[in-house]
Structure formats: C-alpha cells, structure tokens
Amino acid sequence: MAKNATKHAAKTIYVLNGPNLNLLGTREPEIYGRSNLRDVEKLCVKAAEAHGFAIDFRQSNHEGDIVDWIQEAGANNILGVVLNPGGLTHTSVSVHDAIKGIKVPVIETHISNIHAREPWRNHSYVSFAAKAVICGFGINGYALAIDGLAELAGKARR
C-alpha cells in the first residue's frame, strides 16, 4: 500500500450494514424508525467529519460480502469498523471469525435494543468478537460508535 493510501486508511471508518438494512424506513418503522439507509450514511459522514475521519459506507444482504469487507478492513489497517450485522448477529460464526481475524476495532451497532426483543435476538455471535456494542439508540447509535472509535484512536473532537 502506498504511503498516502496508508495515511488515508488510518483515517477511514468502514460502516458495514448487513441483511435487510436496505429496507430501513419501510421495514417495521415502529421498531427501526422512519430514517432510511441514506439518512444513516449522512449521519455517519457528519459524525466522522467532526473527528477528521472519512467514511466508507456499505450494505449487503450477503454474508460473504460482510466477511470480505471485514477482512479488507484488516488488510487495509483502517481506523475501525462500525458493524450493524442485522440478522447475521444471531447466526454468523463466519462474521465472528472474520472479526477475530483482524486487529482493527469493530463496534457492533444495532438500531433497536436487541436485548429487549424476542429471546432469540438476545444472543449475538458478533458480541463475543467486537470491541464494544451499542444498541437501542436508533440510528444515533452509529454516531455514538464513530465517537467511540475516535476515542479509541485518541482523537479529540474538533
């Protein structure tokens, strides 16, 4: 990786969104709110810019894409990952293993409080590998996760 690319990676946060998050704003708005994924991306860009960071924002309904992106984050040695794994939270050993395989901090993020919902949502394979977990703050949880990564990186808010 070129020197400028390495410097850029050190100031980049991946925001990764798993299955069904493309339906934000229309899927169960009483649980997930009316904001859509574009609104989440705008919120993340604003939160990251406050710390002088860039965002690489992605969504996929495919587990392999999420695993590949986590591994890419590690290979590129980016600042950190904000991960809303969606339904993969409760099922994916592969996502867990991908997180364990990198040295980049991953903040597991959920819009709803997964611990106050159906009992099967209380279990997260991702939590065992993540640096931290944020849930129940709506889409603002993404901004909190970015602030947390900034804190971990030792950056003060501008």
Known catalytic residues are 32, 110
Instruction: Decide: residue 156, CB within 10 A, 0-12 exposed, 13-18 middle, 19+ buried.
Output: exposed
Instruction: Report the distance separating Cα 104 and Cα 81, nearest Å.
Output: 7
DSSP conformation letters of 19-78 = TTGGGTTTS-HHHH-S--HHHHHHHHHHHHHTTT-EEEEEE-S-HHHHHHHHHHHHHHT-
Q: Cα–chain-centroid distance for residue 141?
A: 10
Contact 78, 10 (CB under 8 A): yes
Name the strand (E) or helix (H) holding 106.
Answer: strand 106-110
